[in-house]
Amino acid sequence: MSVAVEAGIQVLPFWVPDGYAAPVERAAAAKAAAVYAGQCGARLALPRHAVTSESPWSLSPAHLRRAPTAARLVLPSPSSAAIAAAEAPRVRVVAACLRNNPCGRRLASPPMVMARPTVRWP
């Protein structure tokens, strides 16, 4: 997320199941993410093994840095999208890497909830 935001890309989180979901569920979510990206006029970030010259945007920070800049990018995620969707309408959601840079704490004004997304890799 931070690589996209630093490049000036508007990030659209999209919930997808984690690696523990059934393959058919993951495939359906990937298809839904592609439809959503089309509806939003956005590019879709893919798993790094699925990038092509036509779709060079990846969930990998290294691949994303090399890809052409897109105005809007759908980032499929089991955790970040769930956090963003769980917030009430008109609540400002701030994404920051607090591990590396504590400035994220200054971006949000109180009251503030810090949620640590748990990413599980299969």
Checking 26-30 for CB contacts under 8 A at 24+ apart, the result is: 29/76, 30/76
Q: What tens digit of pLDDT does each residue of 17-64 get?
A: 877 888 899 889 989 999 999 999 999 999 888 889 999 998 888 888
Kindly report the pTM of this predicted structure. 0.71
Task: State residue 85 phi and psi, 5-degree precision.
Answer: -75, -25
